Amino acid sequence: MTSDYLKFYIDGAFVDPIEPRPLGVIDPATEEVFATISIGTGADVDRAVAAARAAFDSFSQTSREERLAFLEKLLEVYERRYEDVAQAISREMGSPIARARDSQAYAGLGHLKATIEAFKAFPFDEMRGGTLVTHEPVGVVGLITPWNWPLNQIMCKVAPAIGAGCTMVLKPSEIAPISGMVFAEIVDEIGLPKGVFNLVNGTGPEVGAAISSHPDIDMVSFTGSTRAGTDVARNAAATVKRVAQELGGKSANIVLPDADLEAAVTQGVKGCFGNTGQSCDAPTRMLVPADRHDEALEIARRAALSVRVGKPTDIETEIGPLVSQMQFDKVQGLIAAGIEEGATLVVGGTGKPEGLETGYYVKPTVFGNVKPGMRIEREEIFGPVLSIIPYDSIEQAIAIANDTPYGLAAYVQGTDVEQLRRVAARLRAGSIYLNYPDWDLFAPFGGYKQSGNGREYADFGLRDFMEIKGIVGYAA
C-alpha cells in the first residue's frame, strides 16, 4: 500500500510542482516503495523563495508575543500529531517504533519546548553605554535537513527561525521525506502568515544547490555529510550568505584507567549502536587502556550480542535496518576493509543477520586491535560498527582522539572528576560528554574542524538566525 505526497507547501498552501517528477520512497525494512513524493526543480525553489521574500518584511516586524504564540500553537499541534510523526519516521528510515516514539519524535518535541523556553528569556536588546545592541532576523533562510534524525533537525531549524522572525524554505531529505510532509501539515494548522514557511522536496544537487546559491536567500542552515556541506558552502560563496553547518563526525570515547570498565564499555557499545549507528555524534572510536584491551573486547562482545536486531514494527527491536541500499553497501564495504586491514573482528562482520535477508539489515559489529590510520578508524561509517583502540597513556589517548578531521563530539569515562575535566578541556570537539550524561537540550550542539560551524539548540539556535545591529547614540 502506498501513499502519495506529491505536493509542495508554498505560500501557505499545498501546491503542485511546476513539473511532475514523482519519486518512490523505499521502506528500508521491505526494500519496497511505500510512498511517492515529487522532486522539485530550481523553478519550484524560485517560487518558494519569492513567497518567503514577500512575507519577510511584515513577519520580521511581528512582536515577540506574536511569534511566541505561533511556537506554542506549533507545540500543541505537534503533540496531537505525535504518533503520526513517529510512524512516518519508523517507516521511512527503518527506525524501531519504540525509538521512533521515545527518541526520534521526542527530539522534535524536546527541541521545540527548549526553544520556547529560551525564546521567552532571550535578550533581544541590550544597552552598552549609549549604544543599543539589538538582535534582528537574518532574513530569508534556506534549511536543508538529513534523513537520520528528520524531526530533530527540522525542528532545530524551523522553531528558532520562527522565533527569530525569519521566513524560510525547507528541503527535507528525499530519502526520508514523509515526516517532513507531516510536519508541513502541522505548520499549516498553526496559522502562520502565508510565505513564512515553505517546503520543496528534491535532491541535494538540484533543489539543495538552488537553495544554497539563491541570491534572495540570506542564510543557509545545513545538516548532512561533510562532502555535501562543502558543496553548500561553495554554492553560497558567490552571494556571501551566512552558512551554518552541522556535518560529519568520528567521535572518540576515552575510557580512562580508573573507569568502571564493564559499565563504560557496555554503555559505549549501546551508544555507538543507537539509531542503528546512524548518528553523526555516535561514539564510534572507543579508546581503552592497552593492559585491559582484551577484557574490554569480551565486554563489548557480550554487549553487542545482547542488542536486539529486528523489524521496526517489533516493540522489542533496538536496531532496525539501515536507511538505504547505498548506506548498506557503504557499511558492508567498510566492515570488509576492517577485516582486510587486520583489525580483530570481535563480533558481527559482513552480510545480513540470520532471518533478516530482506531489508537493509547489518550485523552489529565490533572490531578490536584497531590502529590509528585504518579506514574504520578514520572514516565515518554511519552504521552499528565500533572500533576499539588500545592506548598506553592518557596523553596518547588524547592525541588519538584529536587526530581526526572531525570534531563534533567526544566522550570521556572515569571516576576522578578533575581528571575528567582536564581531559575534556583538551579535546577538540564541540560537545564533550562525561560519564554518559542525560541529554541536555540547552547545551550547544555543533562541531569543530570539518564537523561544521555554528551552534544549534535553545538560545544558541536562535542566535544563529539573527543579525546583530549596533545603534550608536541611541541613548541621546
Residues 6+ apart with CB under 8 A from 422: none
DSSP symbol at 365: E
Alpha helices (H) in 140-223, listed in sequence order: 150-164, 178-190, 209-213
Helix (H) or strand (E) holding 389: strand 385-391
Mark whether 246 is an active-site residue: yes
| Neighbouring C-beta atoms of residue 329, cutoff 10 Å | 12
Contact 201, 10 (CB under 8 A): no
Contact 88, 173 (CB under 8 A): no
Helix (H) or strand (E) holding 58: helix 42-59
Q: Is beta strand 32-38 parallel, antiparallel or unpaired with respect to 140-144?
A: unpaired
Measured torsion, CA atoms of residues 167, 173, 177, 183, in degrees rounded to the nearest 10: -30
Q: Which amino acid is at 31?
A: E
| Neighbouring C-beta atoms of residue 393, cutoff 10 Å | 11
Q: Is beta strand 167-171 parallel, antiparallel or unpaired with respect to 22-27?
A: unpaired
Q: Residue 161 pairs with which residues in a beta bridge?
A: none
| Neighbouring C-beta atoms of residue 257, cutoff 10 Å | 17
Q: Which three cell numbers stand for residue 155?
A: 525542528
Backbone angles phi, psi at 80, to 5 degrees: -70, -35
Distances in whole angstroms, Cα of residue 347 to Cα of each of 194, 367, 390? 54, 7, 17
What count of residues does the chain have? 476
Mark whether 156 is an active-site residue: no
Taken in order 216, 222, 228, 234, is the CA torsion positive or negative? positive
Instruction: Name the region of 332 (left: φ>0; alpha: ψ -120 to 50; beta: rest).
Output: alpha
Catalytic residue among 92, 174, 206, 246: 246
Catalytic residue among 156, 174, 280, 380: 280
Q: Which amino acid is at 315?
A: I
Q: Which three cell numbers stand for residue 271?
A: 551508544
Q: Which three cell numbers stand for residue 8?
A: 509542495
Instruction: Name the region of 283 (left: φ>0; alpha: ψ -120 to 50; beta: rest).
Output: beta
Give the span between the Cα atoms of 170 and 179, in whole angstroms: 13
Q: Which three cell numbers stand for residue 177?
A: 521525506
Catalytic machinery residues: 246, 280
